Amino acid sequence: MFGYIRYTPCGHTKDENDHYKGYYCGLCKSLRSAYGPAAGILLSYDTAFLAILLDGVSSGPIRKSRESCLLHPFKKRPVIRSDAVRYAAAVTLLLSYHKMADNRRDGSFLWSLPLLALSPLRRRALRELSPRGFSADKAFSTLSLLEETPGFTPEERASAFGTILGEITASYHGAHHPGHAFLFQAGFHLGRWIYYIDALDDYETDIKTKNYNPLPLLFPGAGREKIKAHMTIALQSELFALSGALGQVSLSRNKTLVETLVYQGLNMMTVRILGKFYPSEVNDEKPLHCPGRFTPCEHGRDPESIPGSGQKIPSGQTH
Whole-number pLDDT of residue 140: 74
In this structure, is residue 40 part of a structural domain? yes
From the list 184, 189, 155, 220, the residue with the least C-alpha distance to 310 is 189
Neighbours of 102 (CB within 10 A): 17
In this structure, is residue 112 part of a structural domain? yes
At 122, give phi and psi (nearest 5°): -60, -40
How far, in Å, are 21, 80, 220, 286 from residue 67 at the CA level? 12, 10, 52, 40
In this structure, is residue 68 part of a structural domain? yes
From the list 184, 215, 224, the residue with the least C-alpha distance to 313 is 215
DSSP class per residue in 148-177: H-TTS-HHHHHHHHHHHHHHHHHHTS-TTS
Cβ neighbors of 255 (< 8 A, separation 6 or more) are: 56
Which run of H or E residues covers position 246?
Answer: helix 224-246
In this structure, is residue 79 part of a structural domain? yes
Whole-number pLDDT of residue 107: 67
Q: Give, for all 319 residues of the chain, the pLDDT tens digit.
A: 578 999 988 778 899 999 999 999 999 999 999 999 999 999 999 999 999 999 999 988 999 999 998 888 889 999 999 999 999 999 999 888 888 887 777 766 777 777 888 888 988 888 888 776 666 777 776 776 666 666 678 888 899 889 889 988 988 888 788 899 999 999 999 999 999 999 999 999 999 988 889 999 899 999 999 999 999 999 999 999 999 999 999 999 999 999 999 999 999 999 999 999 998 654 444 444 443 343 334 333 333 333 333 444 443 444 3
* CA–CA dist 317, 237 (Å, integer): 12
* CA–CA dist 15, 208 (Å, integer): 45
From the list 310, 314, 293, 164, the residue with the least C-alpha distance to 231 is 314
Whole-number pLDDT of residue 293: 40
In this structure, is residue 208 part of a structural domain? yes
What is the CB-side half-sphere exposure of residue 199 using CA atoms within 13 A?
27
From the list 154, 142, 311, 158, the residue with the least C-alpha distance to 219 is 154
Cβ neighbors of 253 (< 8 A, separation 6 or more) are: 55, 56
Task: Count up the domains in the chain and report the number.
Answer: 1
Give residue 258's domain range. 14-305
Domain CATH number, residue 281: 1.10.600.10
In this structure, is residue 313 part of a structural domain? no
In this structure, is residue 311 part of a structural domain? no
How far, in Å, are 26, 132, 133 from residue 82 at the CA level? 9, 19, 19
In this structure, is residue 312 part of a structural domain? no
Neighbours of 20 (CB within 10 A): 25
* CA–CA dist 203, 39 (Å, integer): 29
Which run of H or E residues covers position 242?
Answer: helix 224-246
